[in-house]
């Protein structure tokens, strides 16, 4: 199974090693085939284009679905893991608060409606969206989703991890990934 991690934020060689190799190793997982960085703007742009949602603005013209399609064209893979955090909320132009459930639904809605990703990917996103919407409560799931061919697994994270990166250069130095120049 070839897995590609799409992670919100920058992904230089140091963060490629952290996200693609070290974190999976610490979790007992296989490394990702590659790590692709994106911004919250990619997700918002996909929402704008595919769903015409109110209060959504973005300076990024490429939606996340277009980014996914481009990466599939570069080198095919089986499953995309998409990791983003709650801050800022997608709907930063309104009074809506950050909501993991809402953002996860927005990811799958955008992919399900996409006309640029291969049809099997949007079909699988639609299936996942239906499963999510069928729950009585967001936490009522029968099992954890597993990587499968032509699927996207969304991982919406609490911003605690990002809080460690208040001094990104310091964290990189502490991890031996990009020592600070003295």
pLDDT 10s digits, 54-104: 444 445 468 999 999 999 999 999 999 999 887 766 655 544 556 888 889
- How does pLDDT run across 127-139, given as a tens digit for each residue? 999 999 999 888 8
Residue-by-residue DSSP string for the chain: --EEEEEES---HHHHHIIIIIHHHHTT-PPPSEEEEE-HHHHHHHHHHHH--TT---S--S-HHHHHHHHHHHS--SEEEEEEESSS-TTTTSSPPP-HHHHHHHHHHHHHH-SSS-HHHHHHHHHHHHHHHT-SSTT--SS-----TTEEEEEEEPTHHHHGGGGHHHHHHHTTSSPPP-
At residue 107, the pLDDT reads 95
**Band of residue 112 on the pLDDT scale cut at 50, 70, 90:** very high
Model pTM score: 0.78
């Amino acid at each position: 199974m070839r897995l590609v991690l799409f992670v919100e934020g920058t992904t230089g060689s140091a963060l490629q090693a952290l996200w693609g190799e070290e974190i999976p190793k610490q979790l007992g997982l296989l490394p990702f085939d590659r790590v692709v960085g994106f911004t919250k703007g990619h997700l918002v742009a996909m929402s704008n284009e595919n769903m015409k949602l109110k209060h959504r603005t973005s300076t990024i013209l490429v939606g996340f679905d277009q980014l996914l399609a481009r990466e599939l064209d570069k080198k095919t893979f089986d499953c995309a893991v998409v990791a983003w955090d709650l801050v800022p909320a997608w709907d930063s132009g309104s009074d809506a608060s950050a909501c993991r459930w809402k953002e996860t639904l927005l990811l799958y809605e955008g992919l399900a409606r996409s006309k640029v990703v291969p049809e099997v990917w949007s079909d699988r996103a639609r299936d996942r969206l239906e499963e999510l919407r069928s729950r009585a409560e967001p936490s009522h799931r029968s099992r954890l989703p597993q990587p499968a061919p032509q699927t996207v697994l969304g991982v919406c994270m609490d911003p605690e991890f990002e809080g460690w990166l208040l001094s990104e250069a310091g964290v990189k130095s502490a991890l031996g990934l990009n020592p600070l120049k003295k």
